[in-house]
Chain A
Amino acid sequence: KNQVEQSPQSLIILEGKNCTLQCNYTVSPFSNLRWYKQDTGRGPVSLTIMTFSENTKSNRRYTATLDADTKQSSLHITASQLSDSASYICVVSDRGSTLGRLYFGRGTQLTVWP
């Protein structure tokens, strides 16, 4: 069964600290993996998209890693800010084109305290 599991379910950190969110997937075949940020009451916004051949990708203070062999990904947030408080969703696609299906995780709810 194709699934995307994220951990932890929720996380509280202090402003300025780093954190790492985890994503494990069983989707096969694998085409690409995305991380989205979803603020409360808003739609998801893409942070990174990684294909099979990419194992690290950075976007400002966000760094995503991908290990296609172990089917694991992580999202590392550096020097957290209050605005980082949001749900972070891992999404895996089984094909590159829009004929493919997206499999969504339930997200990690991150709260950054001052």
Chain B
Amino acid sequence: EADIYQTPRYLVIGTGKKITLECSQTMGHDKMYWYQQDPGMELHLIHYSYGVNSTEKGDLSSESTVSRIRTEHFPLTLESARPSHTSQYLCASSVLGQGSVPYEQYFGPGTRLTVT
């Protein structure tokens, strides 16, 4: 099991609420990621970070925001939740990697978000 944690595991919340999904890892990894996954569909990268104070948008446009104040912590925030945000959110981390050597990406257990 990888040392990467997500809380809460399940969240049901009403439209318009502000939510923060927590992700932390104890492996000292520099790079962290947030993915969104709907049932039966592929993972889509929504945010990533190369290290402290670094955040980048991923391939899938998302209304969420992220921050990276500490190496081990990469929270995702939705200022005003909508039903269209209902999905599974997966956090992952990896070492930075060098050259052509493949780097292992470790995933957390995910947060299942339902917005009513």
Contact = CB atoms under 8 A, between A and B. Distances in A.
Given A96-B101, A97-B97, A97-B98, A45 B42 contact: no
Nearest to B110: A43
Interface in B91-107: 91-92, 94-107
Interface centre among A43, A44, A101, A106 (most CB of B within 10 A): A43
A75 B109 CA distance: 23
Interface string B67-107: 00000000000000000000000111011111111111111
A97 B94 contact: no
Contact of B104 (A49, A89, A105): A49
Range for the number of chain B residues in contact with chain A: 20 to 34
Given A93-B102, A104-B42, A43 B108 contact: yes
Contacts, number: 69
Contact of B105 (A4, A31, A102, A106): A102
Interface residues of A, number: 26
A96 B42 contact: no
A98 B49 CA distance: 11
Contacts of A114: none
A42 B110 contact: yes
Given A49-B102, A106-B41, A43 B107 contact: yes
A89 B99 CA distance: 25
B45 A102 contact: yes
Contacts of B110: 41-43
A21 B97 CA distance: 29
Interface of A: 4, 9, 31-32, 34, 41-46, 49, 51, 89, 93, 95-98, 101-102, 104-107, 109
Interface of B: 2, 4, 31, 40-45, 50, 59, 90-92, 94-110, 112
Which are the 10 A-B pairs with shortest beta-carbon distances? A43-B107, A96-B100, A104-B42, A32-B102, A97-B97, A98-B97, A104-B43, A49-B102, A106-B42, A44-B107
